[in-house]
Structure 1
């Protein structure tokens, strides 16, 4: 099958890709070659584990356009003033210097599964024996009436961390006294199910300190959301009267926006707002679609190793995958990456492949030292990654437990970023 070779996201910076000897699965090749596209919680973890555990038997190339990775997880704590931007920024130097990973800062613009090559915007062509895609999310065109990527500076999504997060923070700081912050929440499935509601909490935290008469409106197409009782109780306790959540039953799914006039219309009622955070419906990052491994939105994968249903030599991790019961989170992507790396290494070198084990925890901060969490363990079945058991913080927990939960999240952040970047 010959695949679509459309270039996406314009031309990237040229990169001099240092190509190594091709891999063991083809004749006359000395080393197996794995190309990993996307340097986040899934891709960086997979690349590091492959390089670390193969001890030089596999040539690993990591393709990531950004030289600094800003984590989406904990980005709301930056909005809330609990973190600096530098606290959530990470670079790839250790992966290159200590693990021998060929880190290429460029856009992947084409995948040819017949010839097993990846083409970069800068013109380099990378051959592979196994390809791991961890491109995160893109947005569904037309998901919110009146909004498009052209409007992202007026109404930022801030659901890809970095400059968008800085922009939203600046807009919140510049809100007039008594002004209104609006959020358009996404439909299921989407990156980080608690994410929008932790963000609401952090915006409320800032307004309570600096603009206590400010208001927050949340237009939500869903009837419920992750940790709903925990968040709503927290909003009532810490930010009484500030947050107005409008769910599906009250017209939260019937929404349009006008970036020029800075208005949001919910179920026919127009409201002038000062900041509007539009989080649209989501789908797998564009390169997964170009590779021909999606169903139009997400990439269906096999639970035992994260290989795609379309091609056993292409794997998809994290947010972009359609894998079953795991949420789209950084923890989940990191967990899937380890399973995938073990399976890929086994296929390429004959090393032992361990039974897959998956887990996830999502922490959220509602107010200072008021942390909550939800999580589960999972197993691979023939149909999907299936939930085995789970846990969630309870309403009414004492302040010491909530503080301990927040401190636990800080420890996890240190651990996962070390696991990703070395």
Structure 2
């Protein structure tokens, strides 16, 4: 900043947001501040004329004197929440742009994000970048910054008090030992982000649409005993030789579509642990053959279309001397496994895709054009064109 900016005497809108967020920094990371009305609760509380507070672990309660306009998100899930709430124009940067899949917005009339912004700031993880972007709120779990990127609590407090508060909770999986505070479901976190942007009506409209969509899918599912056993894995190479396992009983948001579809985990009854910060164990084809799942879902290929995935990854597995013996490979039931970080818009598309992958006789082939939800209705909510 130049001297004129640093010497100004009249508080600006950014000052109001900055110092509003500073009210909670003394309680930041443990989530047990006296400012929090009830440990772990998420909610909005009016703190004065035009001001309000929002609660979410691990930060606890943070206060805003005005509604944030500029925002950064670590992952695509929280970025997608903000877009769903009509806040796309306020995006300043993303902490992990490689896992923020914006191509789904191409199917929603009038919904776009500025790819130039994402490409300019695709890994917002340093204090210098937070200062440079001057966002009004950071949709980050600060404990993730501490455990993954070598921040400390002082760094978090500094940015929260001098730039803007943090509101976020790492929710895509529940297998990290350091995450010893409350988790949130996708829609619990989405509701909190709606409170940050004071977009509760959009949230309610989205929640109603989502509830009806999931109900319509579940009504058409076969009995649980007729559903396939599924192995979910991460393996980003085009010639996979080993596989990092996921457990479907982990309640993280990255597996929401599989839980909603009631699939059976092929690893149930085994002692194989879920992929996490500390567990990097892998299975080879011989291990997989012992499990022999009906369906294999491979993460790490979300930039490929369904057809491209089959032509590259499935083709390699079909030519592998051991992999070719797997039932799922023989039946061509190896598919892309969905995003690690999904927000409410992503979830609609991923649930539709998953239903087709697992139950094509009921919902249509995954490479087909059948729609299970109304794209225009989703776009109308995002664009604010819905009954209030």
TM-score of the pair, normalised by structure 1: 0.29
**Greater share of residues in strand:** 1
**Greater share of residues in helix:** 2
TM-score of the pair, normalised by structure 2: 0.31
